[in-house]
Every structure is written in C-alpha cells, then in structure tokens.
Amino acid sequence: MSGLGGLNKSPDGVVIGLAQLKLPVVDTPQQLAEQTARIVEMTAKARRGLSTMDLIVFPEYSLHGLSMNTDPALMCRIDGPEVAAFKAACKENRIWGCFSIMEYNPDGNPYNTGLIIDDQGEIRLNYRKLHPWVPVEPWEPGDLGIPVCDGPNGSRLALIICHDGMFPEMARECAYLGADIMIRTAGYTAPIRHSWQITNQANAFCNLMYTVSVCMSGSDGTFDSMGEAMIVNFDGVPLVNGGGRPDEIVSGEVRPALVREARRLWGVENNIYQLGHRGYVAVKGGATDCPYTYIKDLANESYRLPWEDEVVVKDGTSVGFPVPEREYKPKQR
C-alpha cells in the first residue's frame, strides 16, 4: 500500500514526493538563478499540494540541465547561493528535500552531487556520484563513499545517482549501512526505461529496502527525459509508478518499520543477511568467508576483467572529451 499516494498517512509512515521536473536549459548564470527559483517554488508546491508529505525529491540535473557544461561560472558550492536557497525553502515549508547540484572542484572536474536537507534547513547528507555515466558524463568520480543519514519519522536514508543504480554493489552498500529507503535520482532518457525499472525492483528485493526513484521529464529541445518516478516495495513489487508528465509530483507512503521487521524475521530470501552467512542450515552461523574474486580484487586495487584488453571505449573521446592525463587519487579516510 502507498496510502493513496500519501493522502492517508500511517503513524509510522514516510510520505515521499518525486518531482518529475521539466528538463531545463541552463547556459548562463542568469538561467541558473532562474532554475534555482523554480526548484524553490516546486518545493513550496509540494507542501501546498500534500500536507502529509515528509520529503520532496528532485531529479539529477534538475538545476543544471543535460548540457554537461563544466563552465566554472555555472558550478555550485555547498556554501553558495543555490544551496542556501534550497535550505531556506526546506525550512520555510517545513519539509525535507533532496536536491542535485554540479559542484565546483578546485582540483579537477566538477562533482555530480546530491544533498538531503532536513525541515530545519540543515544538510543531513552530502553524496558525490561514485559512477558517472561514462563515456557521456565528465564528472569527477565521487570521493565521499556512500553516506546514510537519519530521515523523517524514524527512517534511514541513502542517496545514489542515476548510473549508480546499475551496480548492485551500490544498493547493497546502502542496505549494509542500515538504509531502509534508498533514493535514486536521474536524468535518464527513454532508451534506459526498461533497465531503470528492473534495477529499481531488483535493488529493492535483493536488499529488503524501499527504493524511491525519479528522472527529469520532458524536452529541452535536444534531449527527452522520461520521468518514470517509482516507489518499489522491499519485496520488489512497485507501489507507485509515474509517467512522463513534466512537473508532476508523484507521491506515495513507505513504512520503514516493515523493512526492519522483514530484515529481522524473514528466513527465505533474507538475502542481505544470507550473503555473509552462507549455508547456515549446514554449518553453525553459516560460512562467513568471501568467495568472490572480484570483491577481493577490488579491495586489492587489482580488478581486471578476462576481456580487459578487448574493451574498446575507455575514455570520453567518442563524445568529444579529451583523453584525461590526471590519475585518480582517493582521499584517505
């Protein structure tokens, strides 16, 4: 159940709005300011339209559009005016918000950043996209890991961005860190529709976790984003499906207490537990070793595919980006 889109809110429910924001064109600082104001107004619309709403989620690229423009004049800072406006909107409307910015990086390409701001205007989660959509996106690989935070009404939130959701390891990490709701924001266009749907469902089922996901919508004159807001139950069954109507806010209720109950009580298909307790019927506590070569190799920084030398696309030159010369240096954590 989704409480009729959140109209009938349960005492332990979290009502989430997914804003299928119309795809903008943002080529100048003036257009950036105008789009910031538009998102602020949509935040107010969410509160006016549904008094029970706890969290409004805006898609990836909702502020910058799909131009992939890395002009420093258009990039945002966490202490900049765009984020300040989002913080004020959340506080004024007494609502949590999830926002997308392209973040200035003095040491390289900008970050594709997602922020969760609470209803007091405080940033509760800051995430930088780990897996930019190569070869199309020029963004710096994220360096903050996958943070989680306490959310409204006792929930535990995680945020991933677009292409991140195609890697099952991302959703597994969110759940492993305790998230019962995983937000996925995106700017995807129609060719990804089927992949979008099945990964949102699989990420939910494999981790006993709600997934709530939304794309940009409509056309900017060049690209057509698909909307396709989804709320998927922790058993993998979609609870809410949006279409492609621009600026529609698709809403529904989730109940994190039911996630916690399933994780605690399920035997069959409690996969997030069983991953680390293989065959516990046969051996006490189950096998707790790591049988996965790729995980060991990633940890040792020696990940290499059997067909590695045959991979053709290994940089962004096919879409016009120069061959990078700078190597990635992860931060020490």
Tokens of 78: 């966490």
Distance (Å) of CA 110 to CA 74, 75, 77, 213, 314: 10, 7, 10, 23, 20
Tokens of 29: 């600082």
Q: Which residues contact 175 (CB under 8 A, 6 or more apart)?
A: 182, 207, 208, 209, 272
Tokens of 252: 């529904």
Which one-letter DSSP state was computed for residue 299?
H
Q: Which residues are marked as active site?
A: 60, 129, 162
Distance (Å) of CA 114 to CA 29, 138, 221, 253: 20, 16, 25, 22
Beta strands in 54-93 (DSSP E): 55-57
- By the 8 A CB rule, do 197 and 236 touch? no
Among candidate residues 289, 254, 1, the one with its CA nearest the CA of residue 152: 254
Spacing of C-alpha 88 from chain mean position: 22
What b/e sequence results for 206-237 when a residue is b if at least 16 CB atoms lie within 10 Å of its CB, and e otherwise?
Answer: bbbbbbbbbbbbbebeebebbbbbbbbbbebe
Q: How many other C-beta atoms can be found within 10 angstroms of the C-beta atom of residue 298?
A: 12
